[in-house]
Structure 1
């Protein structure tokens, strides 16, 4: 929440407030080589969230994202492989938003205009009317953001692949190759032409069928679709490889060490993969790591075999 301005689990900010409380408040101190930043996040019940840095209110949540880069691994990350492409697009969006404020601005703009465009198409569909000039106005407004998002995602996945392959090889001791393929309709057409070709279909269905919101990211293990043919162990190893590569990418782009959060990821994970994951994240190349687990005794014993400092915090 403190890094990305919202919880990774809650649907709304208001759900973070305890039933018996009137507000929630979080405080943190971000320590970097160039100085310290105090961060306060507070939300009164029924009101808007307020973010402060060193006592000054941050005007927009967009202006806060990226100050505390973070990568999180949870059991739900299996959706990156098992679920729809929207989950894989979110991976790119969360990474690039932390690295590039312009990307985040373009993403917000594109999604806002897409929502308006779809609402207008739906309205025309229900009323049996149509205004081509208004639709073209939406297309022109969305075009620059669509192009920026496409080019940034293409560069991201091109850069990510080598690290994913490297980490997967470590996790599985080089048993099989993996691949990620990013596909977008904007690779072969600009956004405005794409919208023109889809105009009749959009009108008939009341929604926008062309654009970066329909980008596809495929993952394969040993040349086969990971979603259909990957074992649970292979999928988990690929998820870890993707998240570790995500951390590498953020570090290289920001020249800053992201925080890694591992939330209950060791449950039902075999010792082989646990050992390989710990050997990577507890190495000198990684920064601060937070691990949450109900079986702390077991995790503590495994971490103790590495030459690292660690502290235990118990939450009841």
Structure 2
């Protein structure tokens, strides 16, 4: 490892057992910039997802752990050896045959998986992430929540509590009509809890986005290479009233539609271009530029908060940006930052060409176990 980033976050190697398409594999990482090459379907994305598991205790691409087990086997094991600010850190994730998941750091098991979130900050950019720009509000909330959970353990706990109470409240609302319930005392209890947890989440989002959204706009200009009329703002029903008032105002509607229609679970990041909805007006290149701008703003925010760069995982990005935008992206993440970067591509020659143009040392790994280092 190079001395200039010994004190930062670095993944030295990762071992996979029965994880997705890997029976047993070990991958050593000897440089800060790592290219992972191979044809589609050989496991490039799966390797990135294993790294993501080490940071977030879960997959980026699937909600069920059982979907990540090698076909015709039971359970999987991921072991990652990191250097974190000069100290070694071994992270192990095990999914047992029973479906129980265990997670440990330096052989100390976590009682709650949430306690690990934020310890190894990480940002991933994957092909389907364009849904953050073109999809519904839940996609943008998911990205925002993943970032804030890495910055604030209290946010993660309040968000989990809010979502649990929201499910309970929605369940009660569905039972109102079925069971002809007329006593709403339990609904009052749920409302009090939603207000308590939701107000914390709203205040954190509101404060955070005041600085974050201008940063996104700045990165968008940097990637696009020109100034465009982009406007981003935080939409929330709580801008205009308290959570208590909102729930009282929407209670009768909630009973009729049998779900909670007001709250932080309806928040959104509104994007406009030339005073029109961004996703309706923007070109493919503009959409991709905004996605990468959001992700780089996430990267920069984590770097400032943690005082070291997060890991950056770039999956198949060469197919998503033109040459100029790709150069601007790689110049920022590989040259202007000292964090470790993992990039997948189907074309070894293309990835080497881009890396050579950076003038930085790099490592290229193929999934046929061919590893080459180059100055």
- Which TM-score applies when normalising by structure 1? 0.96
Tell whether the 8 Å contact from 2:308 to 2:339 is kept in structure 1 after alignment.
no
The match for 2:155 among 103, 106, 109 is 103
**CA deviation after TM superposition for structure 1 residue 201, in Å:** 0.5
User: Once structures 1 and 2 are overlaid, which stretch shifts more, 271-280 or 96-105?
Assistant: 271-280
| 1:65 match | 117
| Higher mean C-alpha deviation, range 41-50 or range 236-245 | 41-50
String of CA shifts for 1:179-224, please: whole Å, max 9, x gaps: 2111111122221221111110111111001100011211123332
Structure 1: stretches of 5+ with no match in the other structure: none
**Deviation at 1:286?**
4.4
Question: Is 2:252 the partner of 1:200?
Answer: yes
Aligned counterpart in structure 2 of residue 87 of structure 1, from 139, 159, 172: 139
Asked if the contact 1:125/1:205 (under 8 Å) is kept, the reply is no
Q: Alpha-carbon deviations, 1:134-184, whole Å to 9, x = none?
A: 101011112121011111111222111222122111112224132211111
Q: Distance in 1 between matches of 2:176 and 2:361?
A: 62
| SS of residue matched to 1:67 | coil
Say whether residues 1:31 and 2:91 are aligned partners. Answer: no
SS for the counterpart of 2:91 is strand
State the TM-score, normalizing by the size of structure 2. 0.81
Note the alpha carbon deviations across 1:27-50, whole angstroms, 9 max, x for none. Answer: 112212242211000102332110
Partner of 1:138: 190
Q: In 1, distance between residues paired with 2:224 and 2:189?
A: 51
> Conserved in 1, the CA contact under 8 Å of 2:288 and 2:320?
no
* Deviations 1:255-300 (CA, angstroms, capped at 9, x unpaired): 2321111011211532121111111111233411110111122011
Structure 1 residues 123-132 or 243-252, which shifts more?
Answer: 123-132
Structure 1 residues 188 and 159: alpha-carbon distance in aligned structure 2, compared to 1, 3 A threshold: same
The 8 Å contact of residues 117 and 138 in structure 1, kept in 2 or not, is answered as yes
Gaps spanning 5+ residues in structure 2: where? 1-52, 369-375
For 2:207, the equivalent position in structure 1 comes to: 155
- Relative to 1, partners in 2 of residues 1:312 and 1:193: Cα closer, same or farther, differing over 3 Å? same
What is the CA–CA distance in structure 1 between the aligned matches of 2:282 and 2:131, rounded to whole Å?
A: 13
CA distance in 2, matches of 1:297, 1:160: 36
Higher strand share: 2
- 1:273 matched to which residue of 2? 325
Secondary structure of the 1:179 match is strand
CA contact (8 A) 2:315 2:345 kept: yes
Please provide the CA RMSD for this pair: 1.4
Aligned residues: 316
Higher mean C-alpha deviation, range 115-124 or range 189-198 = 189-198
